[in-house]
Structure 1
Amino acid sequence: MSLENIRSVCEEVLSRVIPEREETEKALRIFREVSSYLEPVLNELKYPYKITLEGSVSRGTHLRDDTDLDVFILIRYEGMRREWLEGLINKIAVVLDRFKPKKLYASHPYLRFKVEGIEVDVVPAFMALNVSEVRTAVDRTVFHTNFVKSRLSKDQVNEVRLLKRFFKGIEVYGAEIRTEGFSGYLTELLIIYYGDFINTIKGLSTWTPPQVVDFLKLYEDLKDYVRLYGRKPLILPDPVDSRRNVAAALSMKSFSTAVLAAKMFLEKPSLKFFYPQVDVSELSWDNIVSYISSRKTSIVGYLIHYLEGTSPDIIWGELKKCLRRGINVLKSYDFEVLDTSIWCDEVNTAVLLYEVPQEELTPYVLHKGPKVFRDVEVRRFLDKYLKSSDVVGPWISDYGELIILKPRKYKTSLEVLLNESKVILHAKHIVNYKVVKLGDLANLYLGNDNFKIWLYKFTHKKPLWL
């Protein structure tokens, strides 16, 4: 490990991620503009309210060309319920109509729209005076902002930017269901805990699950943390509300990816951990097809259209459940699943893919019956299969079992996906679908750069930073 090389890479990354002053000023101007539209509606309420800026811009940890705004409306109304919030959001949507806001849902409804290229979320929340009054995760955000602002030094702001860019580069940034990675708040807490980017990476490289990072020093024994928070890969008790694990959304895959990437970065620091590049010459459709053909596996799956306007978290949750059901169904019909992945445009189209060792299995499967000494079971087995023209056998194994060769219900993985689709794709927001092989995705590949890079990564497997 060469600290000089690491620092050199970090300096180059910082030159790319620190926002220009104009970008931050633009974001703050848009916040003021949006607030001015909100105030007339909120002034009609009979309850105290406050419009606040939360998220990375408010904490000074946003990245260049990656700025978004979290505009919170804090309302001190004890009777705040979903129906009341729906009514408020509808009124706010009217005054923001020029921005064409989209209504989305988390723990309750909020609006999302763009102003001059910057994404803005307008989020109503209960004005909790202390953490004990918090009702939803959204209500807790204000306390997170205050904690980070009080603990993060000016020098550490750029350390957060480095860690964010690192997590983005290795594709583990974001706690949403799509990624199940490191949230912005978790990233900031890690820098506060370890001090700077390099020490955080050093710490990461030594993690083993379940890993505890605790500001509060709640317990001495790991078992006590597991008892309270569950056996999660990373346990970081929220310094604002110790009942909550800040890293609860972090998957084992994202945790493991971060640990290996940290080890590899310390061993051989490079910009590719922050800005991984795909070799454009390898992105041709013919290259993808020949690459899969050379290893003689098969890629099958679904091209899905879902209800437009569905919240990303909701559709990703449904797609992940469908993917897991597909794995289980394929395995139940003797198809080994080598790898899987999901692509979603977060508009109305998604793709679920399964890579299997072979597209077609043998026509027959070995079916073991009872040992010949079990009279009742043997009679039942023989009555069912002895005169069946569909089976081969029965015969007696070396272990005294009755055995037959039984026709498979499905010989190809495509047949499984087609005939079991109602089980696999049982989801509220899926409108229609098509069972596909790799070759059926050529048009989508050639017409969508985002899908092109995703399919390249899925077929080539090795992370771009490795």
Structure 2
Amino acid sequence: TMEALGIEVGMAILNGQKSFTEHPYISGMFKGMEVDMVPCFAVSSAEKIKSSVDRTPYHARYILNNTDPAMRDEMRLMKKFMKGIGTYGAEPHVRGFSGYLCEIITLYYGGFLNALKAVAEWKEGVKLNFGNGEGNFSRVAMIFYDPVDGRRNVASAVHVDTLSRFITAARRYMESPDRRFFFPNKREPFDEKGIRARLDIRGSTLISVSFRRPNVLDDILHSQIWKTESAIEKRLHYYGFDPLRSVHSVTEREVIFVFELATNQLSETYVHEGPVPWVNNADNFLKVWENNPYGAPFILEGRWRVVRKRPFRDAGNMILKEATQLGVGKDMNPNSIIIRDHDETIEHVDKAILTEMLDPRYPWEN
């Protein structure tokens, strides 16, 4: 089979490590460079692919046939710019621009600077097409129809946050070009004293949620990390803890999510919203709450409301009690959750991601 032959050839040349995406491939070193050797089917056209990697020879051929050495240098500039601003890569942990997407953006606009000038005017939903693209794609930040397969969106991995960063960087670079867009300065993380000082100024509190790291491929892991972070953040919002920002990190043993909250401890009660007075179930609402120990229902802005006891006052307790209902990634084990409070989070979590949370400057601003 192609799978077995690909592994055999890859191991013979690279003597590397077996990895997986849609099918196995070999990663290793070749002449001092990290190389992935990925087998693919030789298909007669890009429309007849059996796996996504089968398009790669067509992508390479398209770029070589439609560029000269000068344009390829422009593409290299674009890729270096993307790496410098932190938007390079379609992997789930980046949610950004693949190398091929960088190339065709540069080609579409006729060069690096022309592309940045155009990108500075982009907005969410931008659609680019060499003329062969067709069809609509839902829930995507941008569309670039693949010039070798017009049914495919090359930009499907791009998240709206990554797109926004690219647009912002393009605007700033066109206003004031600087080598830091390509070679950002290394950022020194705050020490514990600096972190506490900034949190004191903000009046906020931290909580971290750790899961045992699941034994899955990195791409699968990072997709589940984003899902889990979003799920916990939504639940914190739902129960009134007002998360301000969140970040995450991955170690060999655990996946850690840090949430900055407006407050970690809520009042005993809150105002529960009921129906408008003229609907049929309004009387049922009044009957349910007629002996409410926190007071009778009242009308405010055209709706019945009542003061009732909160289901949770403490964010950490809420997460532990709701763990199995949070909607986290399927390989994130709710039984492995560890909650760390404000002080424990500052002491335990990597200072670099806490710095990122508290001082979210972009790479070119360091």
TM-score tier after normalising by the smaller chain length? 0.7 to 0.9
**1:332 counterpart residue number:** 238
> Residue 126 of structure 1 aligns to a residue in which SS?
coil
Q: Distance in 2 between matches of 1:375 and 1:234?
A: 46
**1:436 counterpart residue number:** 340
1:320 corresponds to 2:235: no
Residue number among 290, 293, 305 corresponding to 2:212 in the alignment? 305
Tell me if the contact between 2:286 and 2:297 (Cα under 8 Å) persists in the aligned partners: no
Q: Give structure 2 stretches of 5+ with no counterpart.
A: none
Tell me if the contact between 2:232 and 2:326 (Cα under 8 Å) persists in the aligned partners: yes
Structure 1 279/238 Cα, relative in aligned 2: closer, same or farther at 3 Å?
Answer: closer
Residue number among 86, 100, 107 corresponding to 1:192 in the alignment? 107
Aligned residue runs from structure 1 range 106-255, under 5 A: 106-114=21-29, 118-216=33-131, 228-230=136-138, 232-255=140-163
Letter in 1 for 2:70: D
> Residue 223 of structure 2 aligns to a residue in which SS?
helix
Residue number among 446, 454, 461 corresponding to 2:353 in the alignment? 454
Residue number among 11, 19, 40 corresponding to 1:103 in the alignment? 19
Letter in 2 for 1:112: S
Structure 1 residue 441 displacement after superposition? 3.7
More helix as a share of residues: 1
Q: Distance in 2 between matches of 1:182 and 1:93?
A: 27
Structure 1 314/117 Cα, relative in aligned 2: closer, same or farther at 3 Å?
Answer: farther
Q: Distance in 2 between matches of 1:351 and 1:102?
A: 27
Identify the range of structure 1 (233-242 vs 424-433) with the bigger mean alpha-carbon deviation.
424-433
Structure 1 304/112 Cα, relative in aligned 2: closer, same or farther at 3 Å?
Answer: farther
Structure 1 residue 343 displacement after superposition? 2.1
> Residue 352 of structure 1 aligns to a residue in which SS?
strand
1:342 corresponds to 2:248: yes
Q: Distance in 1 between matches of 2:148 and 2:269?
A: 60
Q: Distance in 1 between matches of 2:262 and 2:299?
A: 29
**2:322 counterpart residue number:** 420
- CA displacement 1:302-333 (0-9 Å, x = unmatched): 1222134x211100111111112112211221
| Structure whose CA Rg is larger | 1
- CA displacement 1:249-302 (0-9 Å, x = unmatched): 11111111111111111111112222222453x521221222122101122231
1:289 corresponds to 2:196: yes
Letter in 1 for 2:94: T
Aligned residue runs from structure 1 range 403-418, under 5 A: 403-418=305-320
Structure 1 residue 339 displacement after superposition? 1.9
Tell me if the contact between 2:271 and 2:305 (Cα under 8 Å) persists in the aligned partners: yes
Structure 1 192/387 Cα, relative in aligned 2: closer, same or farther at 3 Å?
Answer: closer
Identify the range of structure 1 (209-218 vs 145-154) with the bigger mean alpha-carbon deviation.
209-218
Q: Distance in 1 between matches of 2:97 and 2:22?
A: 20
1:261 corresponds to 2:163: no
Tell me if the contact between 1:301 and 1:417 (Cα under 8 Å) persists in the aligned partners: no
Q: Distance in 2 between matches of 1:427 and 1:231?
A: 20
Tell me if the contact between 1:367 and 1:403 (Cα under 8 Å) persists in the aligned partners: yes
Q: Distance in 1 between matches of 2:14 and 2:70?
A: 40
Letter in 2 for 1:275: F
Tell me if the contact between 2:124 and 2:142 (Cα under 8 Å) persists in the aligned partners: yes
Structure 1 residue 122 displacement after superposition? 2.5
Q: Distance in 2 between matches of 1:167 and 1:251?
A: 14
Structure 1 262/394 Cα, relative in aligned 2: closer, same or farther at 3 Å?
Answer: same
Structure 1 residue 114 displacement after superposition? 4.4
Kindly tell me the number of residue pairs found equivalent between the two proteins.
Answer: 363
> Residue 229 of structure 1 aligns to a residue in which SS?
coil
Residue number among 259, 265, 269 corresponding to 1:354 in the alignment? 259
Tell me if the contact between 1:369 and 1:381 (Cα under 8 Å) persists in the aligned partners: no
Tell me if the contact between 2:274 and 2:303 (Cα under 8 Å) persists in the aligned partners: yes
- CA displacement 1:85-134 (0-9 Å, x = unmatched): 3x5566568758954x1432x22222334467633322222121222321
Q: Report the RMSD for the aligned CA atoms in angstroms.
A: 2.9
Q: Distance in 1 between matches of 2:276 and 2:154?
A: 55
Letter in 2 for 1:421: A
Q: Distance in 1 between matches of 2:124 and 2:304?
A: 46
Q: Distance in 2 between matches of 1:269 and 1:251?
A: 25
Q: Distance in 1 between matches of 2:31 and 2:120?
A: 40
Identity of aligned residues (%): 24
> Residue 194 of structure 2 aligns to a residue in which SS?
helix
If the length of structure 1 is used for normalisation, what is the TM-score?
0.70
Aligned residue runs from structure 1 range 57-68, under 5 A: none
Q: Distance in 2 between matches of 1:362 and 1:217?
A: 59
1:464 corresponds to 2:360: no
Structure 1 342/114 Cα, relative in aligned 2: closer, same or farther at 3 Å?
Answer: farther
